Chains A and B, each alone.
Chain A
Amino acid sequence: MKNIKNKLSIATCTLLGGASQQAQSGEAVDNAWDLDSSLLYYSEADDRVSVTKAMAFLTGDISSEDSVNVNLVLDTMSGATPTGAVRSKTSGVSSFTGASGASSNIAGGASTDRVKFSDTRLGIALTWNHGWDRLSTISYGGSISVEKDYQSYGASINYSSDTDDRLRTYTMGLATTYDIIYRKTDGTPEPMSNVEDNNIFSDGERYSYDAIFGISQVLNRKTVAQLNYTISFSDGYHTDPYKVISLVQLVGDTDDGSYTFSELERFFESRPEDRLRHTLFTSMAHQYGDSGETVHLTYRFYTDDWGIQSHTFDMHHRTPLSESSYIEPHFRFYQQSAADFFMHSIRYESVNQELPRYASADYRLDDGTGLTLGLEYGAQLSGGRFRVRFDYINWQYEEAEYDETKAFVLQVSYQKLFD
């Protein structure tokens, strides 16, 4: 049983409310230990980013009222990523050597639009879930994530409570995160400074605070639905220390579109020092048909004070192939509007032109859409659960220099149940 799942729900940045799904199905605490392990490979076309992700999630009861989750994640990342600069006419990717393929050399003013990188991330999260009383659970979580150029420390507390008929669950959660951001070899560059100047500040720091309020409800024998509202505020360094933006002059005919960008100078990007986000998340699970097909739908509305709004629609549809195996297509559509300070590049106006206070050419802050098509196969084996999935993702952006990202995801997972 997915006892682990329910508990992990509280543990990780996943759903609240799932925490007491088990209660909703009229059950008390299960004593089983449960280990879920997974290997994931993510790869972008055109030799962009590739990531290998190994995960192990362990859950177990330590008493009738208490359970713990231990989540371990190890990521190995490498490839080349757009810097935000306009495409150089000469070569595509600059090649840097060094112990870790450090990308700090862009501070030297290399005329490239992509930069190679490689990194390793280790993430550990611990959660302790405690049955407060017959109907409610409180969870305390702590997490650490370390990379060569990033550190993140988080703490969270989540509370969920069922109504007496266990058809409805209210959830509330608070979380805080402290992030330290720097470049592999030095601190963070001065925002909007010329790359040539190599003005380096100390490490960037960011504090984030999140609050979530959720409700989940059994609608009928075959449907359960959920609604969450999340508000997040973050304060501190939000800039990407590797990203740059070009000062350009248009060369050619702007009327018929046959022009190119000629890069004059290059600056480090600059983002606001705080961000306020609101998220509305809805989700439902429904079973239908004689063969027990299930459909999972989620819709998310997101808005923040950087001017970004987004809509995310996600659907998984599971069809049993036999008593113990299934096939599950996946469909996801995402659409976002650009951040107010997103720009492809800064246009040259005059020698003494004033630079904008905030500017980023990071394609991820552009107007864009993302489309995912995937397929999963799962099988129940004796004592465990196996599944393999393949997803193809295509992102398209309106203005960014790199206006398309194509990627695939391959994930193999095995869940072992210790009864």
Chain B
Amino acid sequence: MFISVKKQAAFLLLLAITLTSSAYAQKAPAFSLAGDQGRVSLSAYKNKVVYVDFWASWCKPCRKSFPFMNAMQERYGKNGFQIIGINLDTDKKDATNFLKKNPAKFKIAYDPDGKTPGLYKLKVMPTSYLIDRRGNLVNIHKGFKENEKNKIEALIQKTLKK
């Protein structure tokens, strides 16, 4: 009787640990969206560190984040780092106009129906999701402020080393 209780407790503990760790190592939801040249799919970037950023033309801090993302792509692209900027404008024209003024040196994907942000439980525009080489979500960064750039870059470096 006592043994069985202990066994059950041990089992539950094990289960809890398994569940927690699996929740911790959460897989980034897959997506496949229209891009400028063909489709942009997360699955195409296996073994790379991927930085998924949700943005829209009407979102001011999104614009502020573009120079930073361009710099990150240029600096770490050779180390297997890829930024995917998922645009959420309902009208693609707005995105195109925005990109003329703010050129992107990373992959752009278009999700005018807003399907992907739901999968990623997006709360704030912009939000970036850092995904490691195994496809696990390692960090979610809400908003964009100039004084947070160093923190994000350090996380990218750390994830690239893993």
Interface residues of A (CB under 8 A from B): 1, 3, 22, 25-32, 63-64, 134, 164-166
Contact = CB atoms under 8 A, between A and B. Distances in A.
B125 to A, nearest CB: 4
B64 A26 contact: no
A29 B61 contact: yes
Q: Nearest 4 pairs between A and B by C-beta?
A: A26-B125, A28-B143, A64-B145, A28-B61
B30 interface: no
Contacts of B142: 134
B64 A31 contact: yes
Contact of B125 (A1, A3, A27, A31): A27
B145 A27 contact: no
17 contacts: A1-B60, A3-B60, A22-B60, A25-B59, A26-B124, A27-B59, A27-B60, A27-B61, A28-B61, A28-B143, A30-B60, A30-B64, A32-B60, A63-B147, A64-B146, A64-B147, A166-B123
A290 to B, nearest CB: 13
| Of B61, B123, B142, B147, most A-chain CB atoms within 10 Å | B61
Given A3-B60, A27-B59, A30-B61, A165 B147 contact: no
Nearest to B56: A26
Interface string B58-73: 1111001000000000
A383 to B, nearest CB: 13
Interface string B135-156: 0000000111111100000000
Nearest to A1: B60
A134 B60 contact: no
| Interface SS majority for chain A | loop
A31 B68 CA distance: 15
A63 B147 CA distance: 8
Contacts of A28: 61, 124, 143-145
Nearest to B146: A64
Nearest to A135: B124
A393 B136 CA distance: 64
B123 A29 contact: no
Nearest to A30: B60
Contacts of B59: 25-27
B143 A134 contact: yes
Nearest to B64: A31
A319 B140 CA distance: 40
B139 to A, nearest CB: 16
Contacts of B64: 30-31
A1 B60 CA distance: 8
A27 B143 CA distance: 7
Given A29-B61, A31-B64, 15 more contacts: A1-B60, A25-B59, A26-B125, A27-B59, A28-B124, A29-B145, A30-B61, A31-B146, A32-B60, A64-B145, A64-B147, A134-B142, A165-B123, A166-B123, A166-B124
Nearest to A29: B145
A64 B148 CA distance: 9
B143 A164 contact: no
Contacts of A22: 60
A30 to B, nearest CB: 5
Nearest to B144: A28
Contacts of A25: 58-59
Interface string B4-19: 0000000000000000
A228 to B, nearest CB: 26
Contacts of A31: 64, 146
Interface in B47-94: 58-61, 64
A358 B147 CA distance: 60
Contacts of B58: 25
Nearest to B62: A27
A269 B144 CA distance: 59
